[in-house]
Structure 1
Amino acid sequence: MTDTPPPKGHAVIQGYLKTLDNSPGVYRMLDASQRVLYVGKARNLRKRVSNYANPNGHTGRILRMISETSSMMFLTTRTETEALLLEQNLIKQLKPHYNVLLRDDKSFPYILLTKGHGFPQLKKHRGSRKGEGSYYGPFASARSVNRTVNQLQRVFLLRDCTDPVFTSRTRPCLQYQIKRCSAPCVGKVSQDEYARLVSDAERFLQGRDTHLQGELAAQMQAASEQMEFEKAAALRDRIKALTEVQQSQGINPRSVPEADVIALHMESGQACVQVFFIRAHQNWGNRDFYPRTGAGAGEAEVLQAFIGQFYDGKEPPRMVLLSHAIEDLDLMTEALSGKAGRKVEIAMPLRGEKAELVAGAARNARESLARKMSETATQARLLKGVAEAFDMVQTPRRIEVYDNSHIQGAHAVGGMVVAGPEGFIKSQYRKFNIKGEDLVPGDDFGMMKEVLGRRFKRLLKEDPERKSDSWPDLLLIDGGAGQVSAVAEIMREYGVEDIAMVGVAKGVDRDHGKEEFHRIGKRPFALQRNDPVLYFIQRMRDEVHRFAVGTHRAKRAKSMSATPLDEVPGVGASRKRALLAHFGSAKAVSRAGLPDLKAVEGISGTLAESIYDFFHERG
């Protein structure tokens, strides 16, 4: 008997037609290994699938996808809008090869003016908006929001300290000395005066500051006439700071109060999407994205997929300005409006200030992609140089670099950074808390074996057939022959000896430029001091060292602030604070009697017994 390969292509797709009706929904195309090739949505599933069953009229990309399809899966929905939202969720979750994929999807920072306190706090906020207060944003980056917060502090003198710090102050802090806070903590400003500052800040952040500068000028003149020269000088400084804020914002469209300006530029199969955030008639920064183009998708498909994934989990603005038309404009408008709970307008302006905004974003997208392609070309040459230096058959597409950090074995962590054709891939960085109980303090070899053992054990479990791009082509180990031998032992144990591995040792005098490279069964060697490949390897080694040391410091700092109370069942952050405030220290809590513990506010009788038993059973 001979094994016949499973059927693929048009015939397989044709077989599903008799089981489908005209409902809207989402379909998935899978290959012979049940890996998802493509996720799509349809207003009419039967009609859409029948298009794939027809061998004619497809682009090369779609024909390749059809030829690899061995099976399909279907989910029906009530409306096409639901199908669109489900499609984008599945794409982000499954990352199919033939779909357009937004690769950088971090949350955006906001400015938060807190409420529930007599003197509200002005601060940067990232994450879910659960806290009470007014949120303004999003801002394109942490840098842009930090710059705006600093400027607002100079203009409106609002505090940025936390509530516990605020209540514990007995004299003004440095922020007051450098004229970035009005020092409400020590009564330098009344609650009514501070409320006016908060109101002015809100007007500015909402774009209603047209008369603010004039009002400040009038107040300065009045203070001067009454010979309150110190107050007049403070108002003058605020006016100057406000002028600098307005000048630094650059683009301040008067006809567009709130919009995201989204422009796409494609070239040589690569894409850049530039997003400008316009809020309250102000430019709150821009960010560029480089979505994966799904093996050759067109402009309309790329832009529509980007919008769907970009606003998944983000609130859309009232207007979205686009550089290109998308495939389902009405459907996307309905989906974004439903998500926002109000009308969202999507437009492709041809003239006026809106068109100028789009043109500016498109120019940025074009220039950003040109820089990215140049950097990618340079990176490709460096990766080719790495392959030649280490006698590799193929150019590596994924390099994993490892290092450990500890102080005499304490708080030991391992770090892994990843580099590829597009540079460092920070979303793939990993940290490892060293757990080996039998390790001798400072045993770097043992630590490295534990880190690599855990890494490859997980890889073999998640992707034993090596079909994903998670498998490295080259391992760089920060260390010499000993570390390389330790890692080689792990590689043999897990049967992955075909992955190239190199140890990077500091060399003579531990000097940059004198690095020695160690490989199993070969003599150590060095590269020329001016070799670009050497600089590239140094950058990777320095990056993993930075990452491992930073992780170690964070772990050490956390342990220094830890107390025995952290281990007591039922004692969370608020009860821990209450106990420490009542007794003064964790040691005093451990020595307290049961009646004393019961006297603490928020500590029930049962919990007090639990705390008492915890410390006294330890004895």
Structure 2
Amino acid sequence: MSETVKETGPEVIKRFLRTLDGSPGVYRMLDAENRVLYVGKARNLKNRVANYARLQGHSGRIRRMISETASMMVLTTNTELEALLLEQNLIKQLKPRYNVLLRDDKSFPNIEVTTAHDFPMIRKHRGRRTKESQFFGPFASAGAVNRVLNQLQRVFLLRNCSDSDFETRTRPCLNYQIKRCSAPCVGFIGADDYASSVRDAERFLRGETTSIQEKLAAEMNTASAEMEFERAAALRDRIKALTNVQSVQGVNPQGVPEADVIGLHMEGGQACIQVFFIRANQNWGNSDFYPRISEDNAPAEVMAAFLGQFYEGKEPPRLILLSDGIEEGDLMAEALSDRASRKVQLLVPQRGEKHELVQGAIRNARESLGRKMSESATQARLLEGVAEAFELEAPPRRIEVYDNSHIQGSHAVGAMIVSGPEGLEKSQYRKFNIKDAELTPGDDFAMMKEVLSRRFKRLLKEDPERRSEMWPDLLLIDGGAGQVSAVREIMRELGVEEVPMVGVAKGIDRDLGKEEFHRTGQRPFALRRNDPVLYFIQRLRDEAHRFAIGTHRAKRAKAFTANPLDEVAGVGPGRKRALLAHFGSAKAVSRAALADLKAVDGISDALAEAIHHHFHERG
């Protein structure tokens, strides 16, 4: 029985058009396999979709999309604003082939000042902002946050320890000794004075730096006049640290207190977007993005797609400075204002300080794209070399590299890294906690079999037709013939033998540069010592090893700091502190009698019974 071939092209769209009216909404174009080709929004669905009912008058990209369209889906909305928000959600979720896509959606760190404690702490924060704290940011990178935090601790002497450490400490920690904390945990500073330091830190992070410097200078002069020279020297050091914070900010615009500056550069079918974060009249760093585009995408289209996807899940600032204007800019500004619950303005400046900021972002985007294009060309040559060395049909677009890490079998983990035409794809890295309880400790073969089995079983479940880009073109295994044989066995059981696989083993005397490459049914071979492909494979193997070791260390460290009370339902940080203060240790809690547990402040009879049952049931 032959399969029915689905009709595609403008005739399909013409028939679908008869079902539409003039409502606002979002439309999806799907191919013969029901894969989403494109997501768009419209103020008037009938008018918008009618544009696709013919091939003439479109770019090559849109003509290809129309030709592949086999069906359409529509969701109507009450307003065009709702349609815009829904469109951006669907693009981010579905990643359609013909939309401009923000491939590397990053989360940015903030500085958090907690407010739920009598002695607030200052720390780096990622993720959702809560009402219990003050947040300042975003910063472009963790490094930028860490540099500022390091200097802020020198200036304002605020704690960064956890609340549980704060509550249990009996003497000052190292931060007090190196003059980065005022030791509120042991009463070396009163609540009022500490609160004053917190307010000063918040004022600095809001850009009120001059008044803080004047205040510290006055305190230093007073201390000096009263011959408190040690205190005067400490204040001098704090003023110097504050000056250092301001000096590392780079460009500090005077007329722009808060803005994101977004510059776009397009060249050769590729694009780079640079975002500079201006907060409190200070430059808090910049970050680059490389959205997936086509050669016929216009700058306005790329910028609009970027804004919608970039600010999904992020709070926009009051002002966004753009290098390129977008269509329906008022609608985008309304959507961002709705997301921020306050007015957000989009501006394409033509002169003055704002224009200079945008030009700086464009210049950085141009330089970054030039470097990336050069790196991509080198990467392409390396992938061609890999295909030639391992006799692949084409240069691999996705290489997966696997490694294990453990200490005599304990805290065993597997790791997978991914590389392709864009280089290392860290968002695709995966870690695997080894779960097989019957596995012999230290059995690397069995560990690798578990990792590969879990990886490909999931891949087969998610994409049984093997059409997605998540399927690898090459597997690199850290090991020799034994590892390759073990992996080949599990691949055969799963029915995915066609995926090329190479084992990378240290050669004679385990000497770097004498690696041997093992493939099923073929003799091992080596590449010449100065071959760029050999260096490339070594870098991939070392990156997999680094990732595996780091994952193993994190798992081991977590195990070392684990507390048996963490496993007891209903025992949170406060009750855990009460139990430890009463009994002295978790081990003593586990041995305590029920009556003793009930005697602890804050522990109800029911919870005491639950704790007693938890430990004695195990015993």
TM-score in terms of structure 2 length: 0.96
CA contact (8 A) 1:418 1:424 kept: yes
**In structure 2, do the counterparts of structure 1 residues 156 and 571 end up closer, same or farther at CA, with 3 Å as the change threshold?**
closer
Q: 2:108 — aligned with what?
A: 108
Q: 1:18 — aligned with what?
A: 18
**In structure 2, do the counterparts of structure 1 residues 200 and 607 end up closer, same or farther at CA, with 3 Å as the change threshold?**
closer
2:324 is the counterpart of 1:324: yes
> In the aligned structure 1, how far is the partner of 2:109 from the partner of 2:374?
30
Q: How does 1:275-314 map to 2 (within 5 A)?
A: 275-293=275-293, 296-314=296-314
**In structure 2, do the counterparts of structure 1 residues 60 and 210 end up closer, same or farther at CA, with 3 Å as the change threshold?**
same
Cα distance, 1:589 vs structure 2:
2.5
- Deviations along 1:424-475, whole A, 9 cap, x unmatched? 1111111112222332222111111111111111111111212110000000
CA contact (8 A) 2:262 2:323 kept: yes
TM-score in terms of structure 1 length: 0.96
User: Which amino acid letter does the alignment assign opposite residue 268 of structure 2?
Assistant: S
Q: 1:267 — aligned with what?
A: 267
The alignment partner of 2:146 has SS state of: helix
Q: 2:467 — aligned with what?
A: 467
Cα distance, 1:496 vs structure 2:
1.6
Cα distance, 1:192 vs structure 2:
3.1
CA contact (8 A) 1:36 1:94 kept: yes
- Deviations along 1:325-352, whole A, 9 cap, x unmatched? 1122011011011111111110000000
User: Which amino acid letter does the alignment assign opposite residue 12 of structure 1?
Assistant: V
> In the aligned structure 2, how far is the partner of 1:292 from the partner of 1:61?
13
CA contact (8 A) 2:164 2:577 kept: no
Judge which range, 490-499 or 538-547, deviates more. 490-499
2:65 is the counterpart of 1:71: no
CA contact (8 A) 1:98 1:295 kept: no
Cα distance, 1:608 vs structure 2:
2.6
Cα distance, 1:120 vs structure 2:
2.1
2:593 is the counterpart of 1:593: yes
> In the aligned structure 1, how far is the partner of 2:75 from the partner of 2:276?
35
User: Which amino acid letter does the alignment assign opposite residue 340 of structure 1?
Assistant: A
> In the aligned structure 1, how far is the partner of 2:580 from the partner of 2:192?
34
Give unpaired runs (5+ residues) of structure 1: none
**In structure 2, do the counterparts of structure 1 residues 268 and 508 end up closer, same or farther at CA, with 3 Å as the change threshold?**
same
Judge which range, 162-171 or 258-267, deviates more. 162-171
The alignment partner of 1:330 has SS state of: helix
Q: 2:6 — aligned with what?
A: 6
The alignment partner of 2:150 has SS state of: helix
CA RMSD of aligned residues (A): 1.8
Q: 1:436 — aligned with what?
A: 436
- Deviations along 1:288-344, whole A, 9 cap, x unmatched? 011111574221111101101111111110000000011220110110111111111
The alignment partner of 1:525 has SS state of: coil
Q: 1:530 — aligned with what?
A: 530
**In structure 2, do the counterparts of structure 1 residues 485 and 232 end up closer, same or farther at CA, with 3 Å as the change threshold?**
same
CA contact (8 A) 2:474 2:499 kept: yes
User: Which amino acid letter does the alignment assign opposite residue 497 of structure 2?
Assistant: E
- Deviations along 1:174-214, whole A, 9 cap, x unmatched? 32333322333344433333333222222211112233323
Q: 2:555 — aligned with what?
A: 555
Judge which range, 75-84 or 609-618, deviates more. 609-618
- Deviations along 1:208-252, whole A, 9 cap, x unmatched? 223332333333223222222222212222222222222221111
Q: 2:456 — aligned with what?
A: 456
Cα distance, 1:570 vs structure 2:
4.3
Q: 1:424 — aligned with what?
A: 424
> In the aligned structure 2, how far is the partner of 1:568 from the partner of 1:49?
58
Q: 1:227 — aligned with what?
A: 227
> In the aligned structure 2, how far is the partner of 1:76 from the partner of 1:20?
10
The alignment partner of 2:96 has SS state of: coil
**In structure 2, do the counterparts of structure 1 residues 210 and 614 end up closer, same or farther at CA, with 3 Å as the change threshold?**
closer
Q: 2:361 — aligned with what?
A: 361
**In structure 2, do the counterparts of structure 1 residues 279 and 370 end up closer, same or farther at CA, with 3 Å as the change threshold?**
same
CA contact (8 A) 2:268 2:295 kept: no
Q: 1:392 — aligned with what?
A: 392
CA contact (8 A) 1:97 1:295 kept: no
- Give the aligned length: 619
User: Which amino acid letter does the alignment assign opposite residue 521 of structure 1?
Assistant: G
The alignment partner of 2:209 has SS state of: coil
Judge which range, 126-135 or 64-73, deviates more. 126-135
> In the aligned structure 2, how far is the partner of 1:568 from the partner of 1:278?
46
- Deviations along 1:543-581, whole A, 9 cap, x unmatched? 111111221222222223334444444445554444333
> In the aligned structure 1, how far is the partner of 2:268 from the partner of 2:305?
19
Q: 2:46 — aligned with what?
A: 46
> In the aligned structure 2, how far is the partner of 1:35 from the partner of 1:484?
35
CA contact (8 A) 1:320 1:344 kept: yes
CA contact (8 A) 1:108 1:141 kept: yes
Q: 2:136 — aligned with what?
A: 136
> In the aligned structure 1, how far is the partner of 2:566 from the partner of 2:269?
53
CA contact (8 A) 1:249 1:283 kept: yes
**In structure 2, do the counterparts of structure 1 residues 579 and 195 end up closer, same or farther at CA, with 3 Å as the change threshold?**
closer
> In the aligned structure 1, how far is the partner of 2:172 from the partner of 2:450?
50
Judge which range, 177-186 or 427-436, deviates more. 177-186
The alignment partner of 2:81 has SS state of: helix
> In the aligned structure 2, how far is the partner of 1:576 from the partner of 1:118?
20
CA contact (8 A) 1:263 1:362 kept: yes
Q: 1:145 — aligned with what?
A: 145
Kindly, what percent of the aligned residue pairs are identical?
73
Q: 2:496 — aligned with what?
A: 496
> In the aligned structure 1, how far is the partner of 2:596 from the partner of 2:172?
36
The alignment partner of 1:535 has SS state of: helix
Q: 1:212 — aligned with what?
A: 212
User: Which amino acid letter does the alignment assign opposite residue 618 of structure 1?
Assistant: R
CA contact (8 A) 1:431 1:551 kept: yes
Cα distance, 1:168 vs structure 2:
3.6
